[in-house]
Amino acid sequence: MSTWHSARFAKSVHLTHHAARRMASRGLDLGAVADLIETGTVKWKDARHCWIFQEIPGRDDNLVCAAAIAGQAIVVKTIMTL
């Protein structure tokens, strides 16, 4: 599992093994996902669950989304593209 600190959320960010596999299969690197977490639009489902998404110019799918849980850390469960 990859981990880094988010200035935006002032918490550690943990990328699950599943999210890392989805990131790789979708042609994204850790820098792109870290930028998504720091600058993407956040839509909260409830107090803990959210989606963080943004358009990435130059991609055929163009919209990248992280499904995450916020607690003591931000845990990215999966990475999706549209």
State pTM to two decimals: 0.93
Domain of residue 8, residue span: 2-81
- Provide the pLDDT for residue 19: 97
User: Which has more pLDDT, 67 or 56?
Assistant: 67
Q: What local confidence, expressed as pLDDT, does residue 82 receive?
A: 86
Decide: helix, strand or coil at residue 11. strand
Q: What angle do CA 44, 46, 49 make, to 5 degrees?
A: 65
Q: Is the pLDDT of residue 12 over 70?
A: yes
69 or 1, which is more confident: 69
C-alpha span between 61 and 64 (Å, rounded): 8
1 pLDDT exceeds 80?
no
Q: Are strands 74-81 and 41-44 parallel, antiparallel or unpaired?
A: unpaired
What is the total count of domains within the chain? 1
Two tokens, residue 26: 């979708």
